[in-house]
Amino acid sequence: MLNWDDPLSKTTPTAATAIPPSAEALSAEAQAEPQSLAASYAASETLGGMDFDGSSLEDKGVVLPGSMPEETASTPAEEQLAEKAMEGIERDQTEIADSLAPVKASDKRVINGEADVNQLAPFKYPWAWEYFLNANKNHWTPLDINMAQDVQDYQHKLNDAEKHVYTNVLAYLTTSDILAMRNIGLAVMEKMTAPELQIYQARQVYEEALHTWTYQHCIETIGLDQGEIYNRYRVVPAIHGKIKLANKRLDSVMRSDMDLRDPDNLNDFVMAYIFFAGIFEGTWFYNGFTPIFSLQRRGLMKGTSEQLQYIMRDEVMHASFGIRVVKQIMLENDVTLDPKAIREMWDESEAAEIAYAHYILKDPILGYTAEDHIEQFRFIANRRARQLGLEEPFPNAQNRNAWLDEQANMKKEKNFFETRVTEYQTGGALDWG
């Protein structure tokens, strides 16, 4: 049983070993005079007449129920104290009236806003609140999914090429998700000036951490060498290439001293956000699960795939939220993008993806090739470009894996929720388009 005061301690008695109160004690408690409401209130608030610093309340002159003195006269010092308190209250009221006008929704802006960021409503961006509510419908933990068959599959059914795909996809994803968590939490969220946007992004930070837990759970359960797999992005050039590119595009905005009223800084931020939402999350992540889904389609590594389906649904929301936010920033701040810079972004992302695909699929696996992966990258990139209001970067790209979108639209057929005490609502009713 978890000891909530000290969660790592193992000494808390369990329900089975805890000593029950004796019959005499229970009967004495039942016969005791019921406390008056006021007395029980005082007891519960003050731990039985002691204040939280351990001194007696009576020492401090607090009058407890049942000990009311007949008459008390104020001393001059007490009167002075009361007068000062009244002056303070009056001064605060004047300050409030002078400086704090009520927040209007129309005052809010995505960035560079002046409205109080501690006041949630009225909403200017009600869709952001909807994202938060919907995100909470896709709730799971990696422990909910049975991984026993995956251990068998990995040890006895996957060939070397399939193991190579599986481990490298995990190595890439786990590094990427840490990067995603840091970017949204440290570079993006703190620059938002409307709390309804920050609330969803706070959830997103948690989800990225949950994704990292999920990969770690898979890596641990399958029994992979953690020191080796977590270092892979540092020693495998094709994995390193994608991470390096992401760092190059995101690191420059991961500082709080950026002045988003400066047009150059603002342009850097918008370009970084477009890369993050449109490519890093919207294309690389979305398409990044596919090699493992291709194993699932042959009945292999189904536990891992189910984990990834839940992650994918989060990522679809992250990408579409980010795209919406960055479009709103461009609208509110009249940002014009340089088409050459956009083209360069697509080209270098494609080049990194081609190198990655040729590495993870250097030996093709049944039903999935490097060419499939690369073409699917281009097809999804076109979709994100349209959502961003940009030209398609790869006209005529083919949808090689039409089944991929079905993975994002997973319905409740998995039914592991039914095995749980709490029936979470899944996102089956959501429109993931």
CB-CB contact of 110 with 193 (8 Å) = yes
Burial class of residue 16 (count of CB atoms within 10 Å of its CB; 0-12, 13-18, 19+)? exposed
- The CB density around residue 73, as the number of other CB atoms within 10 Å, is 5
Which amino acid, 219? Answer: I
Find the shortest distance in angstroms from Cβ 115 to Fe ion: 27
By CB under 5 A, the count of residues binding Fe ion is 7
Contact pattern for Fe ion over residues 104 through 123, marking x by CB under 5 A: --------------------
Q: Torsion angle of alpha carbons 184, 187, 189, 193, nearest 10°?
A: -150
Burial class of residue 395 (count of CB atoms within 10 Å of its CB; 0-12, 13-18, 19+)? exposed
Where do runs of H (alpha helix) occur along 32-147? 37-46, 76-99, 126-135
> Which residue among 153, 196, 208, 350 contacts Fe ion (CB under 5 A)?
208
Which amino acid, 279? Answer: I
Tell me whether residue 200 or residue 377 sits nearer to Fe ion (CB atom): 200
Phi, psi torsion values for 290, nearest 5 degrees: -55, -40
Residue 363 and residue 357: Cα distance in Å, rounded? 11
Is residue 384 at the binding interface for Fe ion, with CB under 5 A as the rule?
no
Tell me whether residue 281 or residue 306 sits nearer to Fe ion (CB atom): 281
Residue 156 and residue 287: Cα distance in Å, rounded? 27
Is residue 191 at the binding interface for Fe ion, with CB under 5 A as the rule?
no
Is residue 307 at the binding interface for Fe ion, with CB under 5 A as the rule?
no
- Interface region with Fe ion, contact rule CB under 5 A, candidates 129-137, 155-163, 250-258, 313-321: 313-321
Tell me whether residue 245 or residue 397 sits nearer to Fe ion (CB atom): 245
- Interface region with Fe ion, contact rule CB under 5 A, candidates 32-40, 179-187, 222-230, 326-334: 179-187
- Interface region with Fe ion, contact rule CB under 5 A, candidates 74-82, 90-98, 202-210, 256-264: 202-210
- The CB density around residue 303, as the number of other CB atoms within 10 Å, is 21
Tell me whether residue 135 or residue 295 sits nearer to Fe ion (CB atom): 135
Find the shortest distance in angstroms from Cβ 274 to Fe ion: 15
Binding to Fe ion, residues 242-271 (CB under 5 A): none
> Which residue among 318, 378, 384, 400 contacts Fe ion (CB under 5 A)?
318
- Interface region with Fe ion, contact rule CB under 5 A, candidates 57-65, 71-79, 203-211, 369-377: 203-211
Tell me whether residue 153 or residue 284 sits nearer to Fe ion (CB atom): 284
> Which residue among 150, 153, 177, 353 contacts Fe ion (CB under 5 A)?
177
Residue 86 and residue 81: Cα distance in Å, rounded? 9
Residue 277 and residue 321: Cα distance in Å, rounded? 8
- The CB density around residue 92, as the number of other CB atoms within 10 Å, is 10
Is residue 325 at the binding interface for Fe ion, with CB under 5 A as the rule?
no
Tell me whether residue 179 or residue 329 sits nearer to Fe ion (CB atom): 179
Is residue 281 at the binding interface for Fe ion, with CB under 5 A as the rule?
yes
CB-CB contact of 274 with 326 (8 Å) = yes
Tell me whether residue 138 or residue 333 sits nearer to Fe ion (CB atom): 138
Q: Indicate the angle between helix axes 370-388 and 339-360, nearest 10 degrees.
A: 150
Is residue 211 at the binding interface for Fe ion, with CB under 5 A as the rule?
yes
Separation of CA 87 from chain center: 45
- Interface region with Fe ion, contact rule CB under 5 A, candidates 126-134, 248-256, 280-288, 290-298: 280-288
CB-CB contact of 301 with 154 (8 Å) = yes
- Interface region with Fe ion, contact rule CB under 5 A, candidates 12-20, 23-31, 164-172, 204-212: 204-212
- Interface region with Fe ion, contact rule CB under 5 A, candidates 95-103, 147-155, 278-286, 374-382: 278-286
Burial class of residue 234 (count of CB atoms within 10 Å of its CB; 0-12, 13-18, 19+)? exposed
Is residue 180 at the binding interface for Fe ion, with CB under 5 A as the rule?
yes
Judged by the rule CB under 5 A, the positions of this chain that interact with Fe ion are 177, 180, 208, 211, 281, 315, 318
